[in-house]
Structure 1
Amino acid sequence: MLAIVCPGQGAQKPGFLNPWRELPGVEQTLVSLSEGAGVDLVRHGTESDADTLRDTAVAQPLLVAAGIVAAAQLGAGTDLPAADVIAGHSVGELTAAALSGVLSDEDAMRLVAVRSQAMAKSAAAEPTGMAAVVGGTRDEVLAAIERHGLHPANINSAAQVVAAGSLDAIAALGEDGPAKARVIPLQVAGAFHTPYMAAAREELAAFAPELSPSAPTVPLVSNAGGEIVTDGSRYLDLIVTQVASPVDWEACMGALRERGVTALIEVAPAGTLTGLAKRELKGIALANLNTPDDLDAARALVRDHAGVPSTADQEN
């Protein structure tokens, strides 16, 4: 049983689209996706430096486009079976919506353009930030986050929670954090997935009626508690709400475990989610689809796992 997962903001790296651009048709695809996003994806994915790629309005469209391109190349010219389940982390949920057919590629790019610009505006309204809290016990970590007036924006795993809020509170958490935990400030523009993004959520809600969601072709796992979504409108509602609500990736991994997933492929720029899966979903096969050189291994994983019942299913 195969899962495809799509990374969130922070996974982007300078020049990471250069290898994909060498494949036939990819540059034309990126130009087309750029039109929907209003961003020059070819230039940013091949030439822009790390500081430019940290811009939310650049990073988010770039990540969605990269996932669409990598997934398309995975199946190009093959008769590979479809994945059994799809999930995305934060903005990766928009990539997942495109890969599953909930949104057309064009609509996914239009939505990520609105999302990224709205979140950038909300982030600029006041100085806020995020920090990863690694280690410690869950109860103590959450208590420390609350004590400093922060919010648990990303629950990434049993050992990693991302706190978000004012910069002063982030600094205070670093000085007075939970026992046996490290507090690592993140290079992001604001307190995403918290009430600080309320205006962005309202902007997305106003834009959403312009989209035409469809039922997904495969089950989708939502960041909202790992809910399995089979209705396109429901998934779109959750994507809108998500910008001001926590991303519960630990629950998403739990949902993959419960479905009996035996293999997981992360589309470009890959590594973050497979890293979490390596620790939390022990024993499953993993593949990073970062460059065209990874295609053969990823396709082999698809052939071996997609459409194959889990061990639990086989025993029932």
Structure 2
Amino acid sequence: MTTQVAFLFPGQGSQAVGMGADVFEASAAARRVFEAVDEALGFSLSTLCFQGPEDTLRATINAQPAIVTVSLAFLAAFQEALSAHDSAWSSPLAPAYTAGHSVGEYTALVASGAMELKDAALLVRERGRLMEHEGTVCPSGMAAVIGMDAEVLQEVCQQASEQAQAELASAPGHPGLGKVVIANYNAPGQIVISGEKRALELASDLARTRGAKRVIPLSVSGAFHSPVMQPAADQMVQVLATANLHDATIPLISNITAAPLLHAESFRPELAQQVATSVQWVRSIEYLVAAGVTMFIEIGPGQALTGMIKRIARGTRTLNIGTVADLEKAVALVRELNIVL
């Protein structure tokens, strides 16, 4: 039986001080990734990943390039361990698809051959700066809602937005004022809402009233994947207009549409608008399962995506590679299953 593999890459929130330090020591390919990013950014992002401080690493402008860099370092180490040759990103284990959660989509584009490492680092650093700025201009946040159907939560967000906008004394000056929306469809019963501070508070209270098991405020600098981020999305259009993008050699599953993308010009609107648009993660994984994927390998810090897969696609095989120990187990299993192409 053929094993179809998808590489998945995590987004913001997976960062932790110390991430990537072990693979930096263990893998020459991983070290090259860290060194290239440090050179591109003009400061030692690797030191920030390995040593912190935590508050600085958690800042959106730093967390986003840090997560992408660590994920790509583990990908490089994984491919290096599977082959003694200096291989391209998609070899020796060529996934059928790639996908990334939010900023992880940039990692997936590098893995798909559509973007160069240094370009990705610079773009993600600017993305983080713009998103952090909008969170300052329009005080806002995000919250995970556990145990509520998406349809009911959609109604909650609509009602909270209407009430918050009615409370505004004057016409809104920022596109995110008084608005809260579903930001991440992460897994059944695990959905993230995002919006302007007052609207988010109203939605959180209403979700509890309507039967949510838990509503957990998230430690983020703004309302990602909501109308609060529309100015950042508009500016990303300009940033991406001159970005060096190529057609992908491996299809990437869109956060916005949960459909495969291959062509360079399709990536520009995707990367710009995903900043202010819901992440359709459940639909993305369902698409991959329907397309025949039977193994999901999460590459990067944390295990959040692996947990989501287990709730969305029971019966599929999952691996996560976020430490050298994980890497060694994954290499052994891939060799055992004889799925190296």
Q: Give the alignment's TM-score, normalised by structure 2.
A: 0.86
Contact 1:38–1:113 (8 Å) recurs in 2? no
Partner of 1:225: 257
Give the whole-Å Cα distance in 1 for the aligned partners of 2:35 and 2:137.
32
Q: 2:312 aligns with which of 255, 280, 284?
A: 280
Give the whole-Å Cα distance in 1 for the aligned partners of 2:183 and 2:260.
20
**Structure 1 counterpart of 2:5, one-letter code:** L
How has the CA–CA distance of structure 1 residues 102 and 301 changed in structure 2, closer, same or farther, with 3 Å as cutoff? farther
Q: 1:160 aligns with which of 182, 187, 190?
A: 190
Q: Counterpart of 1:225 in 2: which secondary structure? A: coil
Following superposition, the deviation at residue 139 of structure 1 comes to 1.4
Contact 1:11–1:270 (8 Å) recurs in 2? yes
Following superposition, the deviation at residue 173 of structure 1 comes to 2.6
Q: Give the alignment's TM-score, normalised by structure 1.
A: 0.92
Following superposition, the deviation at residue 69 of structure 1 comes to 0.5
Matches within 5 A, 1:229-248: 229-248=261-280
Following superposition, the deviation at residue 40 of structure 1 comes to 2.4
Q: Deviations over 1:82-110 (max 9, x none)?
A: 11110000000000011111101111112
Give the whole-Å Cα distance in 2 for the aligned partners of 1:74 and 1:263.
16
Contact 1:82–1:306 (8 Å) recurs in 2? no
How has the CA–CA distance of structure 1 residues 128 and 180 changed in structure 2, closer, same or farther, with 3 Å as cutoff? closer
Out of 23-32 and 214-223, give the one that drifted further: 23-32
Contact 2:31–2:73 (8 Å) recurs in 1? no
Give the whole-Å Cα distance in 2 for the aligned partners of 1:37 and 1:147.
43
How has the CA–CA distance of structure 1 residues 60 and 293 changed in structure 2, closer, same or farther, with 3 Å as cutoff? same
Give the whole-Å Cα distance in 2 for the aligned partners of 1:306 and 1:182.
41
Partner of 1:127: 139
How has the CA–CA distance of structure 1 residues 146 and 301 changed in structure 2, closer, same or farther, with 3 Å as cutoff? farther
Give the whole-Å Cα distance in 1 for the aligned partners of 2:299 and 2:9.
6
Give the whole-Å Cα distance in 2 for the aligned partners of 1:144 and 1:37.
42
Matches within 5 A, 1:85-164: 85-149=97-161, 150-164=180-194
Give the whole-Å Cα distance in 2 for the aligned partners of 1:233 and 1:205.
12
Following superposition, the deviation at residue 235 of structure 1 comes to 2.2
Give the whole-Å Cα distance in 1 for the aligned partners of 2:333 and 2:185.
28
Contact 1:31–1:41 (8 Å) recurs in 2? no
Following superposition, the deviation at residue 42 of structure 1 comes to 1.4
Partner of 1:58: 62
Q: 2:19 aligns with which of 16, 41, 44?
A: 16
Matched, 1:170 2:174: no
**Structure 2 counterpart of 1:9, one-letter code:** Q
Give the whole-Å Cα distance in 1 for the aligned partners of 2:340 and 2:157.
41
Identity fraction in percent: 32
Gapped runs of 5+ residues in structure 2?
Answer: 84-91, 162-179
How has the CA–CA distance of structure 1 residues 218 and 307 changed in structure 2, closer, same or farther, with 3 Å as cutoff? farther
Q: Counterpart of 2:94 in 1: which secondary structure? A: coil
Q: Counterpart of 2:26 in 1: which secondary structure? A: coil
Give the number of equivalent residue pairs.
308
Following superposition, the deviation at residue 78 of structure 1 comes to 3.0
Where does structure 1 differ by over 6 angstroms across 4 or more consecutive aligned residues? Answer: none
How has the CA–CA distance of structure 1 residues 148 and 39 changed in structure 2, closer, same or farther, with 3 Å as cutoff? farther
Q: 2:36 aligns with which of 32, 47, 60?
A: 32
How has the CA–CA distance of structure 1 residues 176 and 61 changed in structure 2, closer, same or farther, with 3 Å as cutoff? same
How has the CA–CA distance of structure 1 residues 261 and 292 changed in structure 2, closer, same or farther, with 3 Å as cutoff? same
Give the whole-Å Cα distance in 2 for the aligned partners of 1:140 and 1:306.
42
Following superposition, the deviation at residue 159 of structure 1 comes to 1.1
Matches within 5 A, 1:199-218: 199-218=231-250
Following superposition, the deviation at residue 156 of structure 1 comes to 1.1
How has the CA–CA distance of structure 1 residues 166 and 84 changed in structure 2, closer, same or farther, with 3 Å as cutoff? same
